[in-house]
């Protein structure tokens, strides 16, 4: 009886001996990756803003190809539970991701006419993203005791369908109508969607820890965090720009 009770506590507690190491590894890797990503985004944002546009285009295409390749390798390593190798690839992928997302900072600087203000808003969005992502992960973890796995599975399927629909809808609106006209509203919709995804990831977090799939959890949460930051940043920039135009 005592052995069964001890086993139950060990499986369920996030601070158990079995889950403590993967949990700490996830938090450390996430924190390090986020710092690298923010640094890379700001560094290359300023760099791309000062070089000729044709050079920026070809450099971006090159890094985009590297970005796709390194992320595929990272995901495959994580799927096969090669966590240490996946972590190394992930940290490099975080740096490359910053380069790929740097044009968003360039756009914000041009839209606001002030690169320093754009950088300040990016840092604010990054901090807000930490709070939002962390809070929703806790909500998802709490729902493990309230919602069955079957219901959450259907919720995940719904989120997947919504995500694909949003991507195509936003691409259509931006391509045929204009970038800024609908970007504010599509960013709000994407934020609502990604908040649901984060809750889903929080729900399955303990399961991944028990399966020693902590790099899979790291990748999911990191990508959630990037989307949250970029969309909050977009809303801040557009809101600030609208306020400046009114003045």
In this predicted model, what pLDDT tens digit does every residue of 14-41 receive, in sequence order?
A: 434 344 478 889 999 999 999 999 999 9
Structure confidence by residue, pLDDT tens digits, 185-205:
889 999 999 999 999 999 999
Mean pLDDT of 58-76: 91
What pLDDT shows up at residue 10? 37
Contact 98, 48 (CB under 8 A): no
Q: Find all residues with CB under 8 Å of 53, minimum gap 6, and list them.
A: none
d(CA 24, CA 35): 17
Tokens standing for residue 184: 């504010």
Contact 58, 74 (CB under 8 A): no
Residue identified by tokens 């799927």 is 79
d(CA 199, CA 168): 23
């Amino acid at each position: 009886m005592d052995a069964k009770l001890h086993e139950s506590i060990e499986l369920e507690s996030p601070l158990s001996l079995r889950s403590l190491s993967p949990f700490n590894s996830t938090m450390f890797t996430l924190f390090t990756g986020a710092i690298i990503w923010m640094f890379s985004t700001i560094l290359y944002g300023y760099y791309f803003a000062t070089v000729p546009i044709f050079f920026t285009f070809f450099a971006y295409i090159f890094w985009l190809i590297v970005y796709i390749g390194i992320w595929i390798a990272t995901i495959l390593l994580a799927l096969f539970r090669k966590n240490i190798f996946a972590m190394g690839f992930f940290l490099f992928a975080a740096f490359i991701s910053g380069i790929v997302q740097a044009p968003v900072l360039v756009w914000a600087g041009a839209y606001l006419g002030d690169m320093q203000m754009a950088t300040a808003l990016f840092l604010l969005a990054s901090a807000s993203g930490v709070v939002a992502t962390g809070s929703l992960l806790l909500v998802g973890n709490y729902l493990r005791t309230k919602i069955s796995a079957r219901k959450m599975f259907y919720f995940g399927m719904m989120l997947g369908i919504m995500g694909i629909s949003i991507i195509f809808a936003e691409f259509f609106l931006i391509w045929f109508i204009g970038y800024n006209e609908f970007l504010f509203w599509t960013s709000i919709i994407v934020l609502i969607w990604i908040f649901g995804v984060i809750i889903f990831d929080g729900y399955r977090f303990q399961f991944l820890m028990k399966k020693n799939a902590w790099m899979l959890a790291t990748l999911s949460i990191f990508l959630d965090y990037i989307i949250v930051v970029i969309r909050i940043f977009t809303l801040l920039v557009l809101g600030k720009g609208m306020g400046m135009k009114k003045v």
